[in-house]
Amino acid sequence: MRLPKIREIREALTSFFSPPYTSKYPAKPAAFPSYRGLPRFNAAYCVGCGACAQVCPSQAIEVVDDPQRKLRTLRVDYGSCMQCGQCQEKCITGKGIVNGNEFSLAVSDLAAPEVFETVEKELVVCECCGEVVGCRDHLLWVRERLGAKAYAHPNLLLATQALLTDADASRAKSRPRREDQVKMSCARCRQKVVSADEFLYPRYRTFTEEPAEESAVAAILRRKGRAVWTVSPETKVFEALRLLAEKNVGALVVVEAGRPVGMFSERDYARKVALMDRTSFDTPVKEVMSSPVYGVPVTAGAEECMALMTEKRVRHLPVFEGDRLTGLISIGDVVKSLIEEQRSVIKRLSDYIMGKYS
């Protein structure tokens, strides 16, 4: 019998005193504390803000609001979830939705109840127009974060008051009043109450229906009229100048085949005819007109017109309603409109400060 060598004895002793290389059987359930699995809502910490739905790249999280029942439902679809962890990372409370260790989803029907996870939150709606303000838990979370500063906002103050006592719903009014400031309202209605209530802006009559405001360009055309004087490209400069003097206007629209192709003004005559030693009797308008034509829609505001005039260095703008030429405004018209608008704003602010009501 051959005796074992020293090397073999050493290997046997090492193997005897070393831990096993294989796991025990049967194996215990493995836990992965750092594994990112399916997200689960935590109703105690979820405030119903909907941030998880906004950042979900696969749109697996859905927010459904029911203003009639005052209920918001957040639902995650595990069939679409790719376990990216964005919902947990962007959760404002940090614990409202958490990725767990569960990653296996074996179902035969993607519409099965176990494929979805839902959480329901009480919804707060505007007492003026009925639009959604947010979830009550969200308002309370903001109040807690702000501390004493939260009492400066009526919505947060009312949310805190609801914890102490039940307040009766306020009676809806046909138009905004200043006492509506202490009412659960959305940002749009609160802005109307604060800065455009019936004492300051009588034209606002209701919360839900506002008359369409007339644009600055439409107001200019209503005051000065919609008459537009045009010439053809072949018209001589002398005839165009005669038309300018006869109608007492500063510019003419050059039209070819019913389409504006240029503008002719007194400045074009001074720079391109008189200084160039041309004769107005022989020069056609098409050789001296300004092109292309820069115009604005009838719905444009005064600031938009002024910006276009400054950028393109023009003093007259044709006004279009669709493809139809409906008017012509000058830089003087726009400046006058801006002055009137600023004067009106200053008067309203002064009346508001002094407490004058109309």
Angle at 87 between CA 85 and CA 91, to 5 degrees: 125
For residue 278, give the CATH number of its domain: 3.10.580.10
CA distance 253 to 246: 15
Residues 138, 116 share a domain: no
**In the prediction, which pLDDT does 178 show?**
66
Residues 287, 243 share a domain: yes
The model scores a pTM over 0.75: no
Q: Judging by DSSP bridges, how do beta strands 39-41 and 97-99 pair with one another? A: antiparallel
Dump pLDDT digits (tens) for 53-85. Answer: 999 999 999 999 998 899 999 999 998 898 888
Residue 205's pLDDT band (boundaries 50, 70, 90)? very low
**In the prediction, which pLDDT does 182 show?**
80
Residues 317, 226 share a domain: yes
Structure tokens at 138: 């969200």
Q: Is residue 172 part of a domain?
A: yes
Containing domain of residue 296, as a range?
216-338
Q: Judging by DSSP bridges, how do beta strands 116-125 and 251-256 pair with one another? A: unpaired
**In the prediction, which pLDDT does 53 show?**
93
Q: Hey, how many other C-beta atoms are within 10 angstroms of the C-beta on 33?
A: 5
* H/E run at residue 123: strand 116-125
* Mean pLDDT on 5-11: 82
CB 237 within 8 A of CB 337: no
Is the per-residue pLDDT at 210 higher than 60?
A: no
Residues 319, 272 share a domain: yes
Residues 93, 136 share a domain: no
Average pLDDT, the chain: 84
Which of residues 125, 143, 160 is at a domain's end? 125
Residue 197's pLDDT band (boundaries 50, 70, 90)? low
Q: What is the DSSP string of 28-78?
A: PPP--TT----EEE-TTT-----HHHHH-TT--EEEEEETTTTEEEEEEET
**In the prediction, which pLDDT does 175 show?**
62
Dump pLDDT digits (tens) for 233-282. Answer: 999 999 999 998 998 988 999 999 888 999 999 888 888 888 888 888 88
Nearest 10 degrees: Cα torsion 216, 218, 224, 225: 170
Q: Is residue 21 part of a domain?
A: no
Q: Is residue 349 part of a domain?
A: no
Q: Hey, how many other C-beta atoms are within 10 angstroms of the C-beta on 21?
A: 6
Higher per-residue confidence, 32 vs 193: 193
CA distance 41 to 130: 28
Q: To the nearest whole percent, how much of the chain has pLDDT over 90?
A: 39
Dump pLDDT digits (tens) for 304-326. Answer: 999 999 998 999 999 999 888 99
CA distance 212 to 181: 25
Residues near 18 by beta carbon (within 8 Å), at least 6 away in sequence: none
Give 28's DSSP letter. P
Structure tokens at 311: 């950028």
**In the prediction, which pLDDT does 207 show?**
45
Q: Is residue 79 part of a domain?
A: yes
304-323 CB burial, b ≥16 within 10 A, e <16: bbbebbeeeebbbbbbbeee
* Lowest-confidence region among 10-19, 135-144, 160-169, 236-245: 160-169
Compute the residue count for the chain: 358
* Residue recorded with tokens 């009676």: 171
Is the per-residue pLDDT at 144 higher than 80?
A: yes
Q: Hey, how many other C-beta atoms are within 10 angstroms of the C-beta on 57?
A: 9
Q: Is residue 29 part of a domain?
A: no
Give 2's DSSP letter. P
* Mean pLDDT on 204-221: 68
Q: Among 288, 63, 167, 17, which Cα is nearest to 9's?
A: 17
Q: What is the DSSP string of 165-223?
A: -PPPPPPP-SS--GGGGSS---HHHHHHHHHSSTTT-TT---SS--PPPPPHHHHHHHH
Domain count, the chain: 3
**In the prediction, which pLDDT does 204 show?**
45
* Lowest-confidence region among 1-10, 61-70, 131-140: 1-10
Residues 121, 139 share a domain: no
Residues near 187 by beta carbon (within 8 Å), at least 6 away in sequence: none
CA distance 158 to 55: 30
Residues 329, 305 share a domain: yes
**In the prediction, which pLDDT does 209 show?**
47
Dump pLDDT digits (tens) for 150-164. Answer: 888 888 888 888 888
Residues 321, 232 share a domain: yes
